[in-house]
Amino acid sequence: MLAEIKGLNEECGVFAIWGHEKAAEMTYYGLHALQHRGQEGAGIVTSDGDNLHLHKGNGLINDVFQQDEFSRLKGTAALGHVRYATQGGGGYENVQPLVFRSQKGSMALAHNGNLVNAYMLKNQLEAQGSILQTTSDTEVLAHLIKRSGHMGMEDAIGSALGMIKGAYAFGLLTEDQLFVALDPRGLRPLSIGMLNGAYVISSETCAFDIIGATYIREVLPGELITIDDNGLTSRRFASPLQRTLCSMEYVYFSRPDSDINGLNVHASRKTMGKELAKEAPIEADVVTGVPDSSISAAIGFSEATGIPYELGLIKNRYVGRTFIQPSQELREQGVKMKLSAVRGIVEGKRVVMVDDSIVRGTTSRRIVRLLKEAGATEVHVRIASPPIENPCYYGIDTSTKGELIASNNSVEEIRELIGADSLAYLTAEGLENSIVKGKDSTEHGVCQACFTGNYPTEIYPDTVLPAYKG
Ligand code: SF4
């Protein structure tokens, strides 16, 4: 599905490299591979051993970086970030990496996730005299590090991480060290690779492939990694808890060519499609997937049922972005511009339309209508994840509960609203089977809170602050 029209948005992507002559350029390419995780802002900070050099801006990587910038981004270490900004949090000052100066030296921070106690910590910090300049919760961590009684950076970061709660995958670059940390439940993905002796860190492994780096391992929940000219060292800042990796990374967000926690995303989506076919079979003539993220699940559904997979919907890749258009009518027009139903494939056919999820339902209704206008006699919608009934507090903008169609309507009511001939969702059990079956659930468990309401961390009354998402 198309993120910008669906109302379901990833918050960020982080990439870093240590010990490479072309650190800024490698980071630029790495961020390109992570562009789907955020299109609102991008930045790269480098270290030449004495100073940090930053360039960032609003927009896509190609809007923010031209050739000139790279001559200024000196050094063999770099930290980069792509950002999706929620309403009210999209100003230039919130584009990461954020650079801070203190008695401990300079530090640049980039973050993927959301701290559930950021607002509480911000109030505490301000009461103690800190002045926060941005509305990003990343800055809260910076102030906690600055105020730590520890002089050494690693200890200061470790003690600051002990105070924050929620989902976070952090990169932190100083003049002479790179630090990387993942929250104790490992809600967000973060991997380590190597490129000709240089260490590489990325939110997704697809960024390793684009620069020719080799995957080494995952950053572990509760792990703080320090990389400098002496190599890589690791310590635990918290005991690892039952892993609850975001299942939506598999369902929708991550690129199909990425491996997360040892499982390829395309393969997991195919399994979701197969599980869905087992749970909700239907007689039909063709199966089609909503491009791009639902195609793998549609192939799985087709393989399991024997109904041929066809390209019944295609995406026009060269239309302008439409998510900033304010009205529903214009957003729906955006769907029409971006997706076309292929008449020659669907005309006179009973079509199974596989999609990864339904958020507000407006996009699904529009796509069902596109297929029927193109001559489909029946449209059976199959969703490769359970109904999204609850908001996410961990860095994914899922819309508020009131906007989520499944929190206010039964499956039958949703079917009617989107105009489908039948509608079925994958169960939470089916989703879990697709991702963790046969594996140690302590290490491979997933969060399904937006489906089930079982949040893996404490949620504070003032947690939902869109402007605080990083
Ligand atoms: S609530 Fe949903 S979107 Fe948020 S981390 Fe959990 S699975 Fe992912």
Protein residue with its CA nearest to atom 8 in ligand 1 = 246
Nearest to 394 by CA among 452, 450, 442: 450
The reply to whether ligand 1 has any atom less than 6 angstroms from the CB of 449 is yes
Nearest to 82 by CA among 60, 62, 65: 60
Radius of gyration of the chain (CA): 22
What is the number of the ligand 1 atom nearest to the C-alpha of 390?
A: 1
High-pLDDT (> 70) share of the chain, %: 89
Which pLDDT value is given to residue 211? 97
The reply to whether ligand 1 has any atom less than 6 angstroms from the CB of 116 is no
How many degrees, rounded to 5, is the angle at CA 208 between CA 207 and CA 210?
65
What is the number of the ligand 1 atom nearest to the C-alpha of 246?
A: 8
Strands (E), 214-276: 214-218, 223-228, 231-236, 245-246, 259-260, 263-264
Arithmetic mean of pLDDT over the chain: 90
Distance CA 32, CA 457 (A): 32
- Name the pairing type of β-strands 446-447 and 245-246: parallel
Task: State pLDDT tens for residues 359-410.
Answer: 999 899 999 999 999 999 999 999 999 999 999 999 887 767 888 999 999 9
Catalytic residues: 12
pTM reported for the whole predicted model: 0.92
Which pLDDT value is given to residue 331? 57
Q: Residues near 342 by Cβ (< 8 Å), separated by ≥ 6?
A: 310, 311, 312, 313, 314, 374
Residue 352 Cα to ligand 1 midpoint, Å, equals 27
Residue 189 Cα to ligand 1 midpoint, Å, equals 12
Protein residue with its CA nearest to atom 5 in ligand 1 = 246
Q: Which residues are annotated as a binding site for Mg(2+)?
A: 293, 355-356
What is the number of the ligand 1 atom nearest to the C-alpha of 167?
A: 5
The reply to whether ligand 1 has any atom less than 6 angstroms from the CB of 392 is yes
Residue 244 Cα to ligand 1 midpoint, Å, equals 9
The reply to whether ligand 1 has any atom less than 6 angstroms from the CB of 448 is yes
High-pLDDT (> 90) share of the chain, %: 71
Which pLDDT value is given to residue 399? 66
Residue that is written with structure tokens 């990864």 in the block: 356
DSSP 165-189: -EEEEEEEE-SS-EEEEE-TT--S-
Task: State pLDDT tens for residues 217-259.
Answer: 999 999 999 999 999 999 999 987 899 999 999 999 999 999 9
The reply to whether ligand 1 has any atom less than 6 angstroms from the CB of 450 is yes
Residue 395 Cα to ligand 1 midpoint, Å, equals 8
Protein residue with its CA nearest to atom 4 in ligand 1 = 392
The reply to whether ligand 1 has any atom less than 6 angstroms from the CB of 187 is yes
